[in-house]
Structure 1
Amino acid sequence: MFNRNSLIYIAGHTGLLGSALYKRLQESGYKNIITKTHKELELTDKSAIHTFFKEQTIEYVFLCAGKVGGIIGNRTEPASYLHENLLIQDNIFEAANKHEVKNVIFYGSSCTYPKICKQPMKEEYWLTGAIEETSMGYAAAKIAGIIGCKSYNTQYNTNRFICVIPNSIYGPNDNFDLKNSHVFSALIQKIDTAKEVNADTLTLWGSGKPRREFIFSEDVADASIFLMQNSDKLENSHYNLGTGEDYSIKELAQSISQLIGYKGDIKWDTSKPDGTMQKLLDSNKILALGWKPKFALEEGLLKTYQWYKENYA
């Protein structure tokens, strides 16, 4: 059973979600947490992964590692997003199954739901329509991972693999590089820069009309720990993970501007892509088990911006 003495491996512990998990596990008194940097362990190397799992006798895995990015990265490097994520997932899944890890949590993506989908999106709406083309390479890898969890559980008659689909995660240790960042961190970087240079106007991509559901990284971490603790109650299916509330990109930009103190005029370049117009998850399945999010957008935004100013800007 997952407890404070369990031997836990966080793959991708320096990233947005992995660092939040590491923080929350330590705060909760978990003592045996294994981490490896990219230099110490290459997750695309099958042999290295199997050796690592054999030597460490790992009990639980949080698979937070992978290649992630925003619209620009997904449009310009779809093959890289597909290839790297498939390799990492397959290596971890195979090693975890062979070495009888008790549980693995895999993180899917809301971009695997249909581009045109009834809102909020329930788990059963998954794969009922075409996905957004701008993220197809990344989404294909995530679809394979979600199917992989179900397939391993079915073939080996186990509940070893747990799959969650969080909506747009944000928080400290996010990527603020504009080429690879998601909309939340990109807006913080752009609006803060506009304030610093006293820009009268700022032009942002798209129409500002698409709506997104944002969930703070520590909420996802808490939900992950909760699912590990309740793995015996889970179905062989993925679980949506969101807050139940979404915002337009324009509303998010206004909230960030107010927090930062940027008073310039924001314009929208409608020649740039919007992506899917709305992605709101129905998270009733996990809510029914007893988990619920703690962080309001305003609190999470403040924590994220403070981290950005202290560590990135």
Structure 2
Amino acid sequence: MGDTLHPTRRVWITGGNGMVGRNLREHARARSWEVLCPPRSELDLADDGAVARFVRDHRPDLVIHAAGQVGGIQANIADPVGFLVHNLDIGRNVIMAAFEAEVPALLNLASSCMYPRNRDHALRESDIMTGELEPTNEGYALAKIVATRLCDYIVRVRPSAAYRTLIPCNLYGRHDKFDPAASHLVPAIIAKVDKAMRDGEDEVEIWGDGSARREFMYAADLADAVWRAAEDPAALPQMMNVGVGDDHSILDYYRAVAEVLGWAGRFRFDLDRPVGMQRKLSDVSRQRAWGWSPPTSLRHGIAATIRFYQQQA
């Protein structure tokens, strides 16, 4: 619990059992905090009264809002109502409970889905709310925009509140979802190529022509950035991208997974399937000025994620 000179700081991590939450909890810096992360069975973030009582009772020094209904293109298309309403509800409930209980600091984890579609430059924080959103995940993006703006408004009315938003690029890693119907790109690729290898198949389907480009960061690297931010949230910009600052084509990701797994088949392109934005690369100028960059290479991250996937099988 700490001593009188160095009392333990208390942090509430929402979504503590999701991919980002588990990577946060596994990080070495988590040991310097008293971490609260009640499961959904104990605290329903959609219940505003329960959330408000939890914050009043536990009085965290910091909230890391990492909870959300997440998924890839298929999941977003299948349940646009859930992706909008559920994320809107929990974002509002968590941030307002912290504000009303005068929690001094909050790190809101948003999403690069908030950015306008079809921009021909790396996405800058100032681009948010300046254009049309990508239709395939618009509901999720709208909910994340509302949470981000709510943090902005809180700082306007209470300048001492260190309520900041971190905008991660696409993530993959340990504790990811590997069901192609619900997962993001990299874990879906791992599951598809691994299945092809186990079943002796020599062909894997890719949605689109494989040319769309995506930026993916290993989830443990995001955890590293978040814990660094937790040491002094007030020193952060109001919004900051957290990413690699480089991207690869979807075909590149398929090839990287196939190489690590040792699968030598071929890829077939389904040009009738949706692929989302053609490119989504974050501008990491603010992140670099803050003095941080992700330490894990794509190959090492994919290899570690494949090991985790195979251990769960």
Q: Give the TM-score band, short-chain normalised.
A: over 0.9
The worse-fitting range, judged by mean Cα deviation, of 26-35 and 192-201 is 26-35
Which one-letter code corresponds to 1:136 in the other structure?
E
Distance, in Å, in 1 between the alignment partners of 2:178 and 2:7 is: 33
Look up the match of 1:221. Answer: 223
Look up the match of 2:129. Answer: 127
Deviations 1:74-98 (A, max 9, x none): 1111110001001101111111011
Residue 29 of structure 1: SS of its match in structure 2?
Answer: helix
Which one-letter code corresponds to 2:225 in the other structure?
A
The correspondence for 2:207, drawn from 201, 205, 219, is 205
Shift in Å, 1:124: 1.5
Any gaps of 5 or more consecutive residues in structure 2?
A: 1-5
Distance, in Å, in 2 between the alignment partners of 1:105 and 1:229 is: 11
User: What root-mean-square deviation, in Å, do the aligned CA atoms of Structure 1 and Structure 2 show?
Assistant: 1.4
Look up the match of 1:53. Answer: 55
Look up the match of 2:189. Answer: 187
Q: TM-score, normalised by structure 1?
A: 0.95
Aligned residues of 1:116 and 1:129 also touching (Cα < 8 A): no
Which one-letter code corresponds to 2:111 in the other structure?
S
- Count of residues in Structure 1 that have an aligned counterpart in Structure 2: 308
Q: Does 1:87 align with 2:89?
A: yes
Q: Does 1:149 align with 2:151?
A: yes
Deviations 1:140-168 (A, max 9, x none): 10111111110111122233311011100
Shift in Å, 1:62: 0.9
Distance, in Å, in 1 between the alignment partners of 2:33 and 2:113 is: 35
Aligned residues of 2:162 and 2:234 also touching (Cα < 8 A): no
Look up the match of 1:6. Answer: 9
Residue 31 of structure 2: SS of its match in structure 1?
Answer: coil
Alignment of 1:228-247 (within 5 A): 228-235=230-237, 237-247=238-248
The worse-fitting range, judged by mean Cα deviation, of 253-262 and 123-132 is 123-132
Look up the match of 1:295. Answer: 296
Residue 126 of structure 2: SS of its match in structure 1?
Answer: helix
Shift in Å, 1:232: 2.6
The worse-fitting range, judged by mean Cα deviation, of 223-232 and 84-93 is 223-232
Deviations 1:249-271 (A, max 9, x none): 00000000011111111111010
Shift in Å, 1:178: 1.6
Distance, in Å, in 2 between the alignment partners of 1:31 and 1:106 is: 18
Q: TM-score, normalised by structure 2?
A: 0.95
Any gaps of 5 or more consecutive residues in structure 1?
A: none
The worse-fitting range, judged by mean Cα deviation, of 65-74 and 26-35 is 26-35
Distance, in Å, in 1 between the alignment partners of 2:33 and 2:167 is: 27
Distance, in Å, in 1 between the alignment partners of 2:219 and 2:73 is: 20
Look up the match of 2:3. Answer: none
Deviations 1:273-311 (A, max 9, x none): 111011111111021111121111111111111001001
The worse-fitting range, judged by mean Cα deviation, of 117-126 and 146-155 is 117-126
Shift in Å, 1:31: 4.0
Look up the match of 2:112. Answer: 110
Aligned residues of 1:4 and 1:29 also touching (Cα < 8 A): no
Look up the match of 2:258. Answer: 257
Look up the match of 2:249. Answer: 248
Look up the match of 2:23. Answer: 20
Distance, in Å, in 2 between the alignment partners of 1:56 and 1:148 is: 22
Aligned residues of 1:4 and 1:30 also touching (Cα < 8 A): no
